[in-house]
Amino acid sequence: MSFYDVIRTYRWEEIAGEIGRRSRPDVERALAARSPGLDDLLSLLSPAAGPFLEELAQRAHRVTVQRFGRVMGMFAPLYLSNVCTNRCVYCGFNAANVVARVTLTPEEAEREGASIRRLGFRSVLLLSGEAPQVVTEEYFKGVLEKLRPHFSSIGIEMFPMTVERYRELIGQGVDSLTVFQETYDEARYGEFHPAGRKSDYRWRLETPERGGAAGFRRLGIGPLLGLNDWRVEGFFVGLHANYLLRNCWKSQVAISFPRLRSSAGGYAPPAPVGDRDLVQLICALRLVLPDAGFTLSTRESPVLRDHLIPLGITTMSAGSHTEPGGYASASGGVAQFAVADERSPGTVAEVLRQRGYEPVWKEWDAALAS
Ligand code: SF4
């Protein structure tokens, strides 16, 4: 049974209604539970849980320290190409946007990698738009050959692929896969993804489980916050993580919390998520998914990122450039979205240390894996 079969047994409106009906006693029960489950998640995400934010935060902190200690995995994104055949309405790389299109050569990617390595990183996340004619198998193989010597861990956040293709990539040194569903609401998914391969909701939804079948060490998922009701998205990403933990148990599961930022297309988020909302979402999910990794990007401001450090986050990016070529050259291409935390990786690491956390630049070494 794929996750698509599972999610079809739920109705978005019913989950929204259930969350809206949760009361103060429901929240108190969820907070008192030894191992809160998915039903408790509905209560913890509800408006009724708003007044309990401080308590939620304290429990999320305790659970995170208990499971992960005071460490923070550090990584940097490396954008290979902003060529894309999709038309995601919220994205600066949308095929309909008239922007300069750049695809790094393997040599340019290596220069980017070397710059990222000089910043201290040993984990890199490779991103590209969906353009299989440009980001071909041969091209990507060449990129990986150039980057492998620089990094102990290489992740990808690219277009969905088959299990066979993922197996090849693992053989070439990629160890983690991230794919955001953007919204779990199938009825509205097409509104945000009107054309291109990405308009296929099911193909995208089942990508993480294909990654698990292929054998990726880590699977990253997440909704794009700001597209739709964050409380309902929160429930479904919890359901999805729960499914992956049970069915792809050899892989670690990580959730990201990207909030929509302004992009080249000037798209305004239809369902904005406030700072308190984001804190509630992260803390609620931490209580229900104590072993999942939580990732935070530089989309968020320095103040909020520092505040979120103890509340459940286990991995963060720093000093990010979201334009291809942005690390090695000051004149990189157009950025996918605006970065809010522009501090250097060294500064972020220092903040972590001041707060009693150890920044971990190398948490995995593919060369040592059997
Ligand atoms: S979100 Fe990804 S797939 Fe969609 S337009 Fe942007 S780069 Fe392309």
DSSP secondary structure string for all residues of 185-236: -HHHHHHH--SSGGG-HHHHHTHHHHHHHHT-SEEEE-B-BTSS-HHHHHHH
Pocket of ligand 1 (CB under 6 A): 84, 86, 88, 91, 93-94, 129-130, 198
Give residue 152's pLDDT: 95
Task: Determine the distance separating the centroid of ligand 1 and the alpha carbon of 195, expressed in angstroms.
Answer: 11
Q: % helix / strand / coil in the chain, to the nearest 5?
A: 45, 15, 40
**Which amino acid belongs to residue 53?**
L
Atom of ligand 1 nearest to the CA of 182: 1
Give residue 68's pLDDT: 95
* Residue of minimum CA distance from atom 2 in ligand 1: 129
Task: Determine the distance separating the centroid of ligand 1 and the alpha carbon of 128, expressed in angstroms.
Answer: 8
Local structure of 248: helix, strand or coil: coil
How far apart are the C-alpha atoms of 239 and 208, rounded to whole Å? 13
Give residue 92's pLDDT: 84
How far apart are the C-alpha atoms of 49 and 211, rounded to whole Å? 35
Whole-number average pLDDT of the chain: 94
* Residue of minimum CA distance from atom 7 in ligand 1: 129
Q: Which of 88, 127, 192 to mutate to test the pocket of ligand 1 (most atoms within 8 A of CB)?
A: 88
Q: Which of 103, 130, 207, 322 to mutate to test the pocket of ligand 1 (most atoms within 8 A of CB)?
A: 130
Determine contact, residues 308/300, Cβ cutoff 8 Å. yes
Q: CB neighbours of 184 closer than 8 A, spacing ≥ 6? A: 7, 12, 205, 223, 232, 233, 236, 237, 240
Q: Which of 83, 84, 201 to mutate to test the pocket of ligand 1 (most atoms within 8 A of CB)?
A: 84
Determine contact, residues 204/185, Cβ cutoff 8 Å. no
Give residue 369's pLDDT: 63
Tens-digit pLDDT profile for residues 210-227: 999 999 999 999 999 999
How far apart are the C-alpha atoms of 189 and 120, rounded to whole Å? 38
Give residue 262's pLDDT: 65
Local structure of 148: helix, strand or coil: helix
Helix locations, the chain, DSSP H: 3-7, 12-21, 24-32, 38-44, 53-68, 106-118, 137-147, 163-171, 186-192, 201-205, 207-214, 230-247, 275-288, 302-308, 345-354
* Residue of minimum CA distance from atom 4 in ligand 1: 88
Task: Determine the distance separating the centroid of ligand 1 and the alpha carbon of 333, expressed in angstroms.
Answer: 15
Give residue 64's pLDDT: 97
Atom of ligand 1 nearest to the CA of 87: 5
Give residue 362's pLDDT: 85
Under-70 pLDDT residues of the chain: 262-265, 330-337, 364, 366-370
Atom of ligand 1 nearest to the CA of 95: 5
pTM above 0.75, yes or no: yes
Query: Which helix (H) or strand (E) segment is 359 a member of?
Result: strand 358-360
Task: Determine the distance separating the centroid of ligand 1 and the alpha carbon of 336, expressed in angstroms.
Answer: 9
Task: Determine the distance separating the centroid of ligand 1 and the alpha carbon of 84, expressed in angstroms.
Answer: 6
Task: Determine the distance separating the centroid of ligand 1 and the alpha carbon of 82, expressed in angstroms.
Answer: 8
Give residue 367's pLDDT: 66
Task: Determine the distance separating the centroid of ligand 1 and the alpha carbon of 111, expressed in angstroms.
Answer: 24
Burial 113-147 (b: 16+ CB within 10 A, else e): bebbbebbbbbbbbbbbbbeebbeeebbebbbebb
**Which amino acid belongs to residue 97?**
N
Give residue 99's pLDDT: 86
How far apart are the C-alpha atoms of 190 and 163, rounded to whole Å? 25
Atom of ligand 1 nearest to the CA of 92: 6
Tens-digit pLDDT profile for residues 312-336: 999 999 999 988 998 987 555 666 6
Q: Which of 82, 89, 94 to mutate to test the pocket of ligand 1 (most atoms within 8 A of CB)?
A: 94
Task: Determine the distance separating the centroid of ligand 1 and the alpha carbon of 176, expressed in angstroms.
Answer: 19
